[in-house]
A and B are shown apart, each in its own frame.
Chain A
Amino acid sequence: MMASLSLRPVLARPSLRLASAFHGAGQRHASTLLYVDHKNDKIAGGTLNAVTAAQALKGPVTALVAGGAPDAVAAAVAQIPGIEKVIVAKHEAYAHGLAETLAPLIKAAVEAGKFTHVVAPHSSVPRSVIPRLAALLDVSPISDITAVESENTFRRPIYAGNAIATVESSDPVKVITVRSTAFEAAPTSGGKAATEPAASASTETSTKWLSEEIAKSDRPELGAASVIISGGRGLKNGENFKILYDLADKLGGAVGASRAAVDAGYVANDMQIGQTGKIVAPALYIAVGISGAIQHLAGMKDSKTIVAINKDPEAPIFAVADYGLVGDLFEAVPEMTKKL
């Protein structure tokens, strides 16, 4: 494997001398550090999907759980089959996902464990932390991968998902974030990993975390929902989103929105689906009053079945929809809710 690497002189790092002196540097086996995103004592942000991507690298997987009170999450992570070890970093400085403290922590863990890969979900905390970590390690990170081709070759979407690049890394440590919708979630029971404390790292930072405001909802999380009803400018105002909530409740689904609906102030930012919002791939995606701009399609076109309800028969959304209904959403959506 890795023909391009075998052309290089063998420069064995001290830690690799035994393994690589006779077989070339390319023979180094993958060993992966998984960064666990979590919130309120729950594994979060596509971490379970990142586990599946980490396992595709074929080496042993060690999980890192850092936080102010990480013990419950560490215990849950230890149950995931395929995780060999859980290292736990407990400190108030890790409580709020600040990259200034988490990046040095992960760097220390990589050095202590001699990991060849760092894998994290492409959720908001790792999106801040992982590039900073890569800079500290002097390597090029690989964002938002959708496939693992080999331990150094990955696929990732570029241009809002309108092209797929296959990229090859020659860095000693591959630092990767994973698009959750491209990998199945790993099971959460059956494993029995041992836990141990993380290597110590500086917890100093001049950044102060002050507060947060999290939108509360009884409906499933957008990233995890199997049905998503999404509204756009066609909804006309925030109150009208109620007809989408009614349909979502009937289907046990979540409600999303286009950027147009968010910018118009109909709904909160965290509901936005698209290149600059969330990427989703539910079993059923119902786009209501959404024209289907490139940036919106980037966030949902991998959904298994797409339905479009729009009064404009020329709307680009119909080009990706499996089933299209040209009509007035204010009649069609309530009718659908009633008939289901």
Chain B
Amino acid sequence: MANLKIIVPVKRVIDYTVKIRVAGGKVETNNVKHSMNPFDEIAVEEAVKMKEANKAKEIVAVSIGPAKSQETLRTALAMGADRAIHVEVADADTVNPLQVAKILKGIADKEKPDLMILGKQAIDDDAAQTGPMLAGLLGWPQATFASKIQIDEAAKGATVTREIDGGMDVIQTPFPFIATTDLRLNVPRYASLPNIMKAKKKPLVKVKPSEYGVDLTPTLKIVSVAEPPTRKGGVKVDSVDALIDKLKNEAKVL
């Protein structure tokens, strides 16, 4: 069983450190720094670790998005993925997680992986849906919010620790299954310059969503995007006494 085939879907999103701007009813994405969704970096790292531990033989990175998603795939290749599939769509924002899950199902049907590791959510739409939807479409078990994945070769499956409200639980599942990553799963590596150079030579194929027979008409439409209400600037107090006084007499929360 030391020959798992792992697919890791990755998404190109606005970098997590960027303070986003809302203009004209949408989030400004032009000329804004993008990078790999942080939860997806953790997914790639976990797959690469499994390969380094001789549990996995091949890692395939997949991204669905515009041409620039190829940069995200190159990052995954530089981290240690073996090859990449780019499903090209003009504007990733118009593709709902349901369609993403259907395309990924098409890829899974063809590639027949043992395991697919996804981030638990993308930090742009914050939907947290694609992993469990994909598991549902495939009829596979799902291990969501994983903070530890132990491959159990004898059992032809894995034992997964999941973050749940109030603590954690442990489940056991056979291959093939879907895992989604919690932040706690690992600390992703930085791609080294030699590996970035090597990644340029790794195979990257471009496909169209139509190859998987997926209808891209979204049934969930963004009508508008607005800025959240801003908080009024507060005051600074100079002592604990003044703070307690404000909380008691002004805010009346104590």
What CA separation (Å) do A268 and B234 show in the bound complex? 31
Q: Which of B1-9, B63-71, B201-209, B221-229 contacts A (4 or more CB under 8 A)?
A: B221-229
Question: Quick check: A214 and B141 within 8 Å, CB to CB?
Answer: no
Question: Quick check: A269 and B219 within 8 Å, CB to CB?
Answer: no
Question: Quick check: B223 and A153 within 8 Å, CB to CB?
Answer: yes
Answer whether residue A275 sits at the interface, using C-beta atoms and an 8 A cutoff: yes
A296 to chain B, nearest CB (A): 12
Question: Quick check: A208 and B172 within 8 Å, CB to CB?
Answer: yes
Q: List A contacts of B222 (CB < 8 A).
A: 165-167
Would you give the 0/1 interface string for B103-128, flagging 1 where the beta carbon is closer than 8 Å to chain A? 00000000000000000000111111
Chain A contact-residue range equals: 35 or more
A89 to chain B, nearest CB (A): 18
Contacts A132-B136, A140-B97, A340-B244 given; does A319 touch B233 at CB 8 Å: yes
Question: Quick check: B227 and A163 within 8 Å, CB to CB?
Answer: yes
What CA separation (Å) do A168 and B136 show in the bound complex? 23
Contacts A158-B126, A319-B233, A339-B240 given; does A96 touch B169 at CB 8 Å: yes
Question: Quick check: B16 and A295 within 8 Å, CB to CB?
Answer: yes
Determine the residue in chain B with the shortest Cβ distance to A251.
B254
Determine the residue in chain B with the shortest Cβ distance to A321.
B234
Interface residues of A in 116-138 (CB under 8 A from B): 123-125, 127-136, 138
Contacts A127-B128, A339-B240 given; does A275 touch B235 at CB 8 Å: no
Checking B20, B143, B251 against A322 with a beta-carbon cut-off of 8 angstroms, the contacting residue is B251
Question: Quick check: B20 and A269 within 8 Å, CB to CB?
Answer: no
A176 to chain B, nearest CB (A): 11
Contacts A45-B165, A215-B167, A323-B247 given; does A160 touch B235 at CB 8 Å: no
Would you give the 0/1 interface string for A208-228, flagging 1 where the beta carbon is closer than 8 Å to chain B? 111111110000010000010
27 of the cross-chain contacts (CB-CB < 8 Å) are A99-B136, A99-B142, A124-B165, A131-B133, A132-B136, A135-B98, A140-B96, A141-B98, A158-B125, A159-B124, A160-B126, A162-B20, A162-B22, A164-B228, A167-B220, A168-B220, A206-B173, A206-B174, A207-B177, A209-B170, A294-B16, A318-B236, A322-B232, A322-B234, A324-B234, A324-B236, A336-B243
Question: Quick check: A124 and B145 within 8 Å, CB to CB?
Answer: yes
What CA separation (Å) do A319 and B233 show in the bound complex? 6
By the criterion of a CB under 8 Å from any partner CB, how many residues of chain B are at the interface? 78
Answer whether residue A184 sits at the interface, using C-beta atoms and an 8 A cutoff: no
Answer whether residue B75 sits at the interface, using C-beta atoms and an 8 A cutoff: no
Question: Quick check: B134 and A135 within 8 Å, CB to CB?
Answer: yes
Contacts A208-B173, A339-B240 given; does A158 touch B27 at CB 8 Å: yes
What CA separation (Å) do A277 and B14 show in the bound complex? 20
